[in-house]
Amino acid sequence: MDVSVRPLLALHDLASVTMHDRVHLGPRMSGIEEEPCNDWLHVALSELRRLKQDRGENIARAAFIGSANGVDVIAALRLFRIGSLVVTDIVPEIIPDIERNIRDNTVPEDLPEELCFVVGRDCEPVPWECDLIYANLPLVMASDQELQSDLATTTLTDSSAYLKLAYAEDDPLLKWSLLPQLGFLLSAKEKLAPGGCVITLIGGRIPEDAIAECFQRAGMAFERGTVAVMRQSDEEYVEQYALYEAQFTHEAFLFYDEAAAAGILRECGYAYPSIVDVSAEEMRLLLAPAALTAEQARQRVSDGHHVAHLSYGFRAVPKA
């Protein structure tokens, strides 16, 4: 299936003047949101633009982890001059389509001198130290049996790869399914060049102190730059959070009734969906009247309604 990504790229002034900006999406690849402001790449590009503003357009070596369809790399190659680039995914059969998408939508002079595509988890297959490591990875842990079903790898990640990082059964990072993020950050820290940084995206469904503990245990200092409110359109994702909520958390992963959240945003002068210029804490307080647990969100979706969530972009560096 070929899909146009021109509206998504145009949102950040990155639409090509020479190409149609179309990518091929196979059955195990991440989709593209029809509304560009609902796409996670909107959050990613907000963070990448902040990085360019702070550090300039030249990046010696970079890694894009779990690319899933290549659009993140296409956009980054229109923002930065990257000397060496490694692109990964954990699903071997989609790597050729990721490479095809990137090469078909990038003019030859913008391609890195070194460009490689490798299979593997987190930063394990990255062959060199990087000045930038970017990832937007699934956080919901599931058993190997579930992963062998038709559930998408964009939704679930293998619990056996990360459970060893838990301190105990009551570890808050296990409770909030943040062990995969911890595993990624630990692997990224090992592959960062001096002065390098990590950009990672995390859904705002979990408490602030759990996010802070995740970075702290990875030995990373972090800043949250982007806060966005957008639709959670993946029904499977909501379903899996509801199952995890019932099994491990016994507290609420935070979603929002979309109609109520959109109304609150309009009253505050914001569009929906949108990136907002207030802190995550302020936005959570504003949206509190529209809050739903994951189970309530699952019920809303099954009834044919939409739900929203907060999305965050973070930049992290190793602690001195």
Enumerate the domain spans of the chain.
2-227+311-318
**What's the pLDDT score for residue 251?**
81
- Average pLDDT, stretch 249-270? 93
**What's the pLDDT score for residue 144?**
64
pLDDT digits (tens, 9 = 90+) for 307-317: 999 999 999 99
Mean pLDDT for all residues in the chain: 92
**What's the pLDDT score for residue 309?**
97
Q: pLDDT confidence of 152, banded at 50, 70, 90?
A: low
- Average pLDDT, stretch 180-206? 96
- Average pLDDT, stretch 291-306? 96
**What's the pLDDT score for residue 151?**
47
- Average pLDDT, stretch 41-67? 96
Q: pLDDT confidence of 1, banded at 50, 70, 90?
A: confident
pLDDT digits (tens, 9 = 90+) for 14-47: 999 888 899 999 888 888 999 999 999 999 999 9
Per the CB < 8 A criterion, the answer to whether 116 and 127 are in contact is yes
pLDDT digits (tens, 9 = 90+) for 177-188: 999 999 999 999
**What's the pLDDT score for residue 263?**
97
Encoded tokens for 138:
């699934």
**What's the pLDDT score for residue 147?**
57
- Average pLDDT, stretch 278-307? 96
Architecture, CATH, for domain 2-227+311-318: 3-Layer(aba) Sandwich (3.40)
**What's the pLDDT score for residue 233?**
83
- Whole-number Å distance between alpha carbons of 30 and 290: 28
